[in-house]
Structure 1
Amino acid sequence: MLSVVVAPWADNAEPVFVRNPDVLHDAASTMKVAVLAALWRNGVNLAADVPVVNRFESAVGGEFGNNQDYDSDPLPWELLGTHVPLSLLAERMITHSSNLATNLCLSRTTPQAVADVWRRAGATRSCTPRGIEDYAARAAGVNNVVSARDLVRLLHSLAEEPELLGLLEENDFRVDLAAGLPPGTRIAFKNGWITGARHCVGLVHPRDCPPYLLAVCYTGPLASGADRTDPAARLLARVSAAVWRRRHDIHPFP
């Protein structure tokens, strides 16, 4: 299943192209944008030192932990047993898609705060009710899900928070949407990948026309779950390149 939404950045970001925009996909790491916004908007002290642990409360009771072999970022694991600024964990959650950092960030906010981020964005189907690798919750049917339309709405909701968009520009995994753009093109984006799914949402800043939003969600056998060599990443790059070629049709100059 391939879902695509293209929209101008200006005004209400109404889509100019959609394909399966409201189909739900496993959120993978795209939900980390909502977690970041929840931290930012709810007065959490990002400068505070927090303990780096690997035990978290499950959404259905009990505890769970992350698997280091399933994480794309080794740094937080090297910091286990220490205290670090929450801002460092928030940064690694976005730039290196750290699962451990994400659950540590989630533990410093509330499910309601994350739900409020989606609500404020105008999302109609997406939600983040549990942490990453909370398998007991997943078995109970508690799932993080997104649609391409809601991802565009989520990114557009950050319009008045340039600090968050700036952090998204530092994303290190530039193998899907970013790979379909000319070298040096600015893009604030977050991707996510698991076996069977690869997604990305981005704000693209061409030099020759206004910026635009693009979300692509793919669920299917092409997605290997690899962070940088996933064949599905190349599919997303081709979609990104095709949209780039039509960028002047998204929101042309008057």
Structure 2
Amino acid sequence: MGIADLLREVDGSGEFGVCLGRLDGVPVFEHDAERTHYSASTMKLPVAMAMMRKVEAGELALDQPVTVHNDFTSAAGGRFGVNPAEDEAPATWKQMGQQVSLGWLATEMITRSSNLATDLVLELVGVEAADAELGGGPSAIRRGIDDAAAQRAGISNEMSPAGLARVLVAVGNQKDASGDYLRDLLAGNQWNGEIPAMLPEGTRVEHKNGWDTRIRHDGGIIRPSDASPFVLAVCTTSDLPDAEAQKLIASIALEAWNHRHDLEAIR
């Protein structure tokens, strides 16, 4: 069954986008790839990229101390805090009022998808710098996680499969210590129910996923031991049960894997 067949099976139940290609950035399969979805936690990758750009420039340091707090400037004006009930990464919350390193927060942000860690990093990096990593186009970072006032005002973070694939290609081709650092963060992701789920055990997948009500996304660099690496990004906004949305993404990844020696043949 091809990727197009998998998408036909869920036709009418929501919006589904796919972008598949090699690390040269040329897509070999696209389906609604430029249509944006609410980004959920996929925006954390551009935040990490912007952070490393500032580290390279000497504006930030991975070992600099950051006091953990939960009070941030809203994109709509005023202040907001992260809802702990919607943050599935408890370690950052246990450090409230204490100092931790920026590098520790970045690890929590990517490997555990901590919302609180994300807003702490974003506060230092800046929304504009994180958004700039997307390179323009319809994808955008406009606010922090759980900025409810901004959300009510229509200020949202958006991501398309093509936009997610583009930042993954950038990370995959970054030939320096910062690139190694980012790729290792992505490979350490502890939430592996989408792209990696059906791939052979031990396959290196450098990925960042995101989820919310009706939302399930994942984008990653897949590195087979017997073929060239490739990039896959899938965004879903649908009425599918969450487990089925995860299975859809995993099935698309498996179909890509099965064509890893000839990605151009995929349908």
Measured against the shorter chain, the TM-score band is over 0.9
Counterpart CA distance in 2 for 1:92 and 1:241 is 28
Task: Please tell me whether the aligned partners of residues 96 and 173 of structure 1 are also in contact (alpha carbons under 8 angstroms).
Answer: yes
Tell me the secondary structure at the aligned position of residue 92 of structure 2: helix
Q: Once the two structures are superposed, what CA deviation does each residue of 1:107-154 show, in whole Å capped at 9, x if it has no partner?
A: 1111221122112xxx51111110001011111111100000010001
- How many Å separate the matches in 2 of 1:39 and 1:203? 20
Q: What CA distance in whole angstroms lies between the structure 1 residues aligned with 2:16 and 2:97? A: 41
CA separation in 2, counterparts of 1:15 and 1:41? 26
- Specify which of 12, 21, 26 is matched with residue 33 of structure 2: 21
The percentage of counterpart residues that share the same residue type is 39
**In the aligned structure 2, how far is the partner of 1:144 from the partner of 1:55?**
19
Partner residue, 1:227 = none
Alpha-carbon distance in 1 for matches of 2:43, 2:198: 22
RMSD value, Cα:
1.3
Counterpart Cα distance in 2 of 1:18 and 1:247: 16
User: Residue 125 of structure 2 aligns to a residue in which SS?
Assistant: coil
Deviation at 1:42, TM superposition (A): 1.3
Deviation string 1:162-183 (CA, Å, 9 cap, x unpaired) is 2101110000001100002111
In the alignment, structure 2 segments of 5+ residues that lack a partner are: 1-14
Structure 2 residue 101 is the aligned partner of structure 1 residue 89: no
Separation in 1 of the partners of 2:241 and 2:170? 28
**CA distance in 2 between partners of 1:128 and 1:79 (Å):** 27
Match of 1:231 in 2: 244
What is the CA–CA distance in structure 1 between the aligned matches of 2:212 and 2:241, rounded to whole Å?
A: 7
5+ residue gaps, structure 1: 225-229
- C-alpha distance in 2, partners of 1:99/1:76? 9
Deviation at 1:231, TM superposition (A): 3.1
Counterpart of 1:34?
Answer: 46
Q: How many residues are paired up?
A: 242
Q: TM-score, normalised by structure 1?
A: 0.92
How far apart in 1 are the matches of 2:90 and 2:222?
Answer: 29
Choose which of 25, 49, 56 in structure 1 pairs with 2:65.
49
Q: Counterpart of 1:125?
A: 138
Per the TM alignment, residue 251 of structure 1 is displaced from its structure 2 partner at its CA by 6.8
Q: Secondary structure at the match of 2:106?
A: helix
Structure 2 residue 166 is matched with structure 1 residue 153: yes
| TM-score (structure 2 length as normaliser) | 0.88
Instruction: State how 1:159-238 maps to structure 2 within 5 Å.
Output: 159-160=173-174, 161-224=179-242, 230-238=243-251
Distance (whole Å) between structure 2 residues aligned to residue 104 and residue 75 of structure 1: 14
Residue of structure 2 aligned with 1:100, choices 104, 116, 128: 116
How far, CA to CA, are the matches of 2:215 and 2:122 in structure 1? Answer: 23
Q: Is contact 1:194-1:223 (8 Å) kept? A: no
Tell me if 1:243 matches 2:256.
yes
Q: Distance in 2 between matches of 1:95 and 1:242?
A: 25
- 2-structure distance, mates of 1:223, 1:67: 23
Distance 2:44 2:241 in 1: 20
Secondary structure at the aligned position of 1:192 is classed as strand
Runs of 4+ in 1 over 3 A off after TM superposition: none
Partners of 1:125 and 1:167 in 2: how far apart? 26
Corresponding letter in the other structure for 2:66: V
Residue in structure 2 matching 1:135, options 128, 144, 148: 148
